[in-house]
């Protein structure tokens, strides 16, 4: 990964408390897995920012290497990689996600 | 490009010889699978780490040949 791509990713993650790397936008997701995570966060009433990886090929490839995670979506909360679609869904279903946000000092 | 459930299982078994694996072809298109994997190797690992271990076992195929592999990982219950 090029250094400036890495810096770009680091900066967006740092600047956004809750950040979702996704395909499409929260209003118009371009992939069912991204849509599922948007659905969970919206359902919980969590405010988040998103990056549409389809609009930036460097970030689309870079974030996979950065997180050591081969797929999109990817959720970051306060600089920490929380997971992709399966993990977020599972954490939502068993209540862990609410706990996670509370621990991170985010009101849901 | 798609993979068969058997190919996925064989790849996972290479890294997790002790694993109990159940694979479902979610849409019957050879491209969207769900796998449940139970292995001792997951003990003490976070869920992100467990999934990373499986993705690494997939040898770079995840996200390329294989579009979707929904994972459910856990260590065996004593």
Residues 6+ apart with CB under 8 A from A25: A50, A52
In chain B, the domains with their CATH numbers are: 5-74 (3.30.300.90)
Q: Would you call A87 and B70 a contact, using CB atoms and an 8 Å cutoff?
A: no
Residue of B68, B69, B73 best to disrupt the A interface, most CBs of A under 10 A: B68
pLDDT of A46: 95
Residues 6+ apart with CB under 8 A from A105: none
Q: Which residues pair with B23 in a beta bridge?
A: B35
For the stretch A46-85, pLDDT in tens is 999 999 999 999 999 999 999 999 999 999 999 999 999 9
The alpha carbon of residue B30 is apart from the nearest alpha carbon of chain A, in Å, by: 17
For the stretch A17-33, pLDDT in tens is 999 999 999 999 999 99
- CA-CA distance, A104 to B74, in Å (whole number)? 25
pTM, entire model: 0.89
Task: List the domain boundaries for chain A.
Answer: 3-103
CATH 3.40.30.10 corresponds to the domain A3-103: yes
Alpha helices in chain B (DSSP H): 5-15, 47-57
Classified as helix, coil or strand, A16 is: coil
For chain A, the residues whose C-beta falls within 8 A of a C-beta of chain B are 33, 64, 68-71, 81-87, 90-91
Q: Would you call B51 and A87 a contact, using CB atoms and an 8 Å cutoff?
A: yes
Q: Would you call A90 and B62 a contact, using CB atoms and an 8 Å cutoff?
A: no
Bin B49: left if φ > 0, else alpha if -120 < ψ < 50, else beta: alpha
- CA-CA distance, A35 to A27, in Å (whole number)? 9
């Amino acid at each position: 990964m090029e250094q400036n791509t890495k810096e770009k990713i680091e900066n967006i993650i740092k600047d956004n408390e809750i950040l979702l790397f996704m395909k499409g936008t929260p209003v118009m997701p371009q992939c069912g897995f991204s849509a599922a995570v948007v659905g969970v966060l919206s359902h919980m009433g969590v405010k988040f920012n998103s990056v549409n990886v389809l609009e930036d090929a460097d970030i689309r490839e870079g974030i996979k290497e950065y997180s050591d995670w081969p797929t999109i979506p990817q959720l970051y909360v306060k600089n920490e990689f929380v997971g992709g679609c399966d993990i977020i869904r599972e954490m939502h279903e068993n209540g862990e996600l609410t706990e996670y946000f509370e621990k991170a000092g985010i009101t849901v | 490009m798609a993979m068969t459930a058997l190919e996925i299982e064989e790849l996972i078994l290479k890294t997790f010889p002790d694993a109990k694996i159940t694979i479902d072809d979610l849409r019957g298109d050879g491209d969207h699978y769900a796998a449940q994997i139970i292995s001792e190797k997951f003990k003490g690992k976070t869920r992100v780490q467990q999934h990373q271990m499986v993705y690494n076992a997939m040898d770079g195929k995840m996200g390329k040949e294989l579009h979707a592999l929904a994972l459910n990982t856990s260590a065996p219950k004593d």
